């Protein structure tokens, strides 16, 4: 079971403890690949919050999601 963590210090601490660490965007790509959600809609909703994501990162996530299914 992956641990959902976006904070850098928390990611480092979790990785040091050999936990399976994933960020929000990785989880969204996995859910898109499983057919659970639409990645474009999810990224648009996420962009309406205080979540920080560059346009280049958004493009990369969309590309990964399209390759994943």
Q: Give residue 48's pLDDT.
A: 95
pLDDT in tens, 26-56: 999 999 999 999 999 999 999 999 999 999 9
Q: What digits encode the pLDDT tens for the residues 52-69?
A: 999 999 999 999 999 997
Task: Inform me whether the pLDDT recorded for 25 exceeds 80.
Answer: yes
pLDDT at 69: 75
- pTM for this predicted structure: 0.82
C-alpha span between 41 and 65 (Å, rounded): 12
């Amino acid at each position: 079971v992956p641990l959902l963590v976006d904070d850098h210090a928390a990611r480092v601490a979790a990785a040091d403890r050999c936990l399976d660490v994933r960020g929000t965007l990785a989880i969204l790509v996995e859910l898109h690949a499983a057919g659970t959600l639409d990645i474009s809609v999810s990224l648009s909703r996420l962009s309406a919050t205080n979540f920080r994501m560059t346009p280049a990162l958004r493009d990369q996530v969309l590309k990964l999601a399209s390759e994943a299914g």
